[in-house]
Amino acid sequence: MSKKITFPYHPQYPSVADLRKKAKSRIPKFAFDYLEGGCNEGLNLARNENDFDNIYLKPNYLKAVECPVLVVLVDVPAFGLRYKEIKSGLSIPPKMSINNILQAFARPLWGIKTLQHGIPSFATLKPYMEKGMDMSQLGQFMNKTFTGKVDIEKVSAIRDLWKGPLVLKGIATDEDMQAAIQIGADGVIVSNHGGRQIDAGESSINSLIKLANNPLYKSKLKIMLDGGIRSGVDLARAHAVGSEFNFMGRPFMYGVGALGNEGGDHTINMFKTHLYQIMQQLTIEKVTQFPDRLLKP
């Protein structure tokens, strides 16, 4: 990749860490704690990010609007115990406490925007919610919709009804992969829900490394990753160890928290620039070539 390609993004925020810092100064503490928090002490959340540092790549300087796919979430059998959210007074159903109100006053711009545009809501859930639903009813809806064990029988029933490609998100073990193959899934997303569910779990990237190296799984399923990616270098590392596609949540929310409506575009352009730069350094043209640059111990 000899051609230099860049994408426009704000030069003051060239990394996710910069967006995180700006978002923290711009939105109320309770909102940031919801975004930032992991389960319990946040150990698994930290592992999601830190374990990328154990993956090394080698350069080669001598060488020049439909929904076709259904993704079923199997990583949230119940809400995790999230200490930051508890301390900030977040709850289901949501309610504004004195503490939350004071936090909102500490971020006046956020408060003004909220007054202008209304309380933030789950836009993806609106089509399934009754109009005029109050906070109490919202809590009941969330508990009913997102709580409950997802087993092979339930997912098999969805597979029977859905004739298009089916992807399971929340895969972490060999047993999960074997079940996905048994059900007839087309792909899996290796994920621990951003470390928000169980603090004793393995990082998503380490789970991916083990699963993506199994030839049987690779021949039967598209294997993707969610969790811990914070830079274009992390994207490169994920591809190098076997991910075919990668998902991110927090980086985009940091971007929106920091820059508002421009935050999403800023974040994607930032990651594109990171990724193209590392591809130039490794002298490769396609992301499928990253495994050839994996430096194995």
Catalytic residues: 193
Enumerate residues 6+ apart whose C-beta is below 8 A from 248: 226, 229, 271
The runs of H, that is alpha helices, within 92-147 are: 98-105, 108-117, 135-146
The answer to whether residues 169 and 71 touch, using CB atoms and an 8 Å cutoff, is: yes
Measured between alpha carbons, how far is 295 from 283 in angstroms, rounded to an integer?
15
Give the separation between CA 48 and CA 43, rounded to whole angstroms. 9
CA–CA gap between residue 285 and residue 2 (Å, rounded): 9
Check: CB of residue 267 under 8 Å from CB of residue 19. Answer: yes
The tally of CA atoms less than 13 A away on the side-chain side of residue 68 is: 2
Residue 60: enclosing H or E segment and its boundaries? none
Task: Name the residue among 24, 146, 168, 28 with its Cα closest to residue 92.
Answer: 146
Contact 75, 169 (CB under 8 A): yes
